[in-house]
Structure 1
């Protein structure tokens, strides 16, 4: 913000917020979801039975909760609650300007014309909540494909779950040719996604940077791609906006005419419910206007504290504690016999070809073989006896039987550098 303080205030637009305020809003918005996730994960360790399901479905619940909050703020204030904290609002880039006879100088009516439409509210909701959720899911899926891609010679094979589903489809008398075509199509789409997702993400970042530069040079009034396509611009909250929101929250007094018609039970219940809802709505708005800015200040303080904390202080505090020795666990008779059999075995010799290790690869049980030997051994075993470690005989989770190729699909090999 040093550059912002050195700008000439006479050359700045009073109604249009600066790029630094918008960048601060987006930066603070990106801190909310990780902070909530961290707090939820912390308390899940204390109350796992209650919060474990919430933590497992955090992304979807966060999308729903933040979507409701942001929708109410966009509908009421034409801004998200963080933008409202900074005194920024969103408005239509090309509002319809009425004639003087339509509003007669009334600023409230003219302010309602520049408010967001329903389509613009939904596009703002997509820009604020939907795209971050989609980006998180795609990034997690891409990270899952990285080890599969590296282990299968630059191709992403079908995972074990989809192969089991394919086997069920084969049992339901689906033609094998159609099943193989579908599997190849899924593999092709997955490979294209793995290769071009980083390029697409980088391209979107460059476009966003270009729009930021255009906004900084007053060539556009939008700060993102969706805002530019939806014709949404930024402005500042004024006194007319607060008057408009106050007129929405405060119910208008309705003159009731006395009548001799007796009230029914349902009308009495509805009137009582309305009398309870109105003060609760006021309390909800007042508490959100107090709690949310306080939480924003707390996030800013924690960000500053973590950025200025000296890591040497943590190392000094850790030096005071001594790590207790690990408890000795008694070995069973099976483990003792197994250790005795493998005590004199040379670790540089492959247990399959009995020669020196060439291009070594490790499996889930920790044993190292020649990569080619163990791969062909696990692949060519029968359906009944395969998928196990050749030394211990334990079941390997990375091996799955393929009904189409009639062989074992091996995905649990890891190359070892000696």
Structure 2
């Protein structure tokens, strides 16, 4: 992102700010829940095709990102998120041996990443997050979850203690239990060290104490730099040279080059598609947490009633075989007493005197007006009370 160059230091105009690096990291973290949400929606429509993909989402996402990241590392020398923000990966050894190129990156493009550097980058970009995700999931399963941390109890630990004390438990099972207990105790410290080291490198990078904003980049010897015009020019020149110029080439080679070109265009289109899926995911996240989704859209729009208000059921009509409804209001259809004495309603909605309704339902088990059956008998009678001001 060219407009962010003002935030860099004057000594190295191509050194990205921590805000740029944090933005691309946030983009990468939002990709997985967005893809998972989209898959879950379409799995409801096509369960036979996508239910297994949803059940093994972590593996599917890791494979998907492997091909995407591999393409961007080979073509652009950067991960997908880094390329989205106009960043690239450069070997620290190259920058140390070429001080002029490190400071004046616009003069010439940096060399592409080697196969070894691409492999190490894929391990950090794809392998490490996948392993971390599986470890987090396993720890949440064996630690008892949030209820155990709040209530101070863990049923799984009690079952493990019973199995260890049982003489019939196989030795292999006891070893697995002890390793699980060891992992449960050690993993929180490993997790703290993981996030703490990232935070320490972020702070050190912010104050210019290190060239790496994460320990993993330091480990594989790669720095993050802004892309220059020379890098873009080199990429598009390479695309132009890759176009087949000789029309007499074989059909197989032409088909292969066409398929590879289509694949590259599809991968490049993900630069637009994946951020759109993140926007869609965040929009739905906001929508379901807003007043509109909680049924408060009537108050927000200023209308008297919500559009989702369920209308009352239609009034049951009197059956010709039943007792006729009196013309005057507040009159019992059975004894014609007005006002109704101790009013009682039937499930049909009509109101009678309590004694009249009780004896009629007890004898006929139906409403005297609509002739609808009263399923619960006299237990279906409901007393009606009026507010007296």
Indicate the TM-score class for this superposition, using the shorter chain for normalisation. 0.5 to 0.7
Structure 1, unmatched stretches of 5+, are 101-105, 164-175, 257-267, 326-418
Counterpart check, 1:244 vs 2:268: no
Q: Quick one: distance in 1 between partners of 2:36 and 2:162?
A: 29
Tell me the equivalent position of 1:225. Answer: 215
Q: Quick one: distance in 1 between partners of 2:221 and 2:99?
A: 22
Identify the match of residue 281 of structure 1 among 253, 260, 280.
260
Tell me the equivalent position of 2:370. Answer: none
Checking the alignment, whether the CA contact within 8 Å between 2:144 and 2:156 is kept in structure 1 is no
Checking the alignment, whether the CA contact within 8 Å between 2:76 and 2:83 is kept in structure 1 is yes
Relative to structure 2, which stretch is displaced further, 186-195 or 88-97?
Answer: 88-97
Distance of aligned partners of 1:97 and 1:156 in 2 relative to their CA distance in 1, 3 Å threshold? farther
Relative to structure 2, which stretch is displaced further, 219-228 or 147-156?
Answer: 147-156
Q: Quick one: distance in 2 between partners of 1:310 and 1:57?
A: 28
Tell me the equivalent position of 1:342. Answer: none
For residues 288-303 of structure 1, the aligned pairs below 5 Å read 288-297=267-276, 299-300=278-279, 303=282
Tell me the equivalent position of 2:375. Answer: none
1:66 is displaced (CA, Å) by 1.0
Tell me the equivalent position of 1:61. Answer: 60
Structure 2, unmatched stretches of 5+, are 101-105, 299-305, 314-389
Tell me the equivalent position of 1:133. Answer: 130
**How many equivalent pairs are there?**
286
1:290 is displaced (CA, Å) by 3.7
Tell me the equivalent position of 1:314. Answer: 293
Counterpart check, 1:211 vs 2:205: no
Q: Quick one: distance in 1 between partners of 2:7 and 2:214?
A: 26
1:119 is displaced (CA, Å) by 2.6
Checking the alignment, whether the CA contact within 8 Å between 1:156 and 1:187 is kept in structure 2 is no
1:68-88 CA distances to partner (integer Å, 9 max, x unpaired)?
Answer: 110121122110122111100
Checking the alignment, whether the CA contact within 8 Å between 2:142 and 2:184 is kept in structure 1 is yes
Q: Quick one: distance in 1 between partners of 2:99 and 2:21?
A: 33
What secondary structure sits across from 1:89 in the alignment? strand
TM-score, with structure 1 as normaliser:
0.58
Tell me the equivalent position of 1:191. Answer: 181
Q: Quick one: distance in 2 between partners of 1:284 and 1:12?
A: 40
1:123 is displaced (CA, Å) by 2.0
Checking the alignment, whether the CA contact within 8 Å between 2:77 and 2:88 is kept in structure 1 is yes
The higher radius of gyration belongs to: 2
Extract structure 1 runs of 4+ deviating beyond 6 A. 7-10, 252-256
Tell me the equivalent position of 1:157. Answer: 160
Tell me the equivalent position of 1:365. Answer: none
Checking the alignment, whether the CA contact within 8 Å between 1:157 and 1:187 is kept in structure 2 is yes
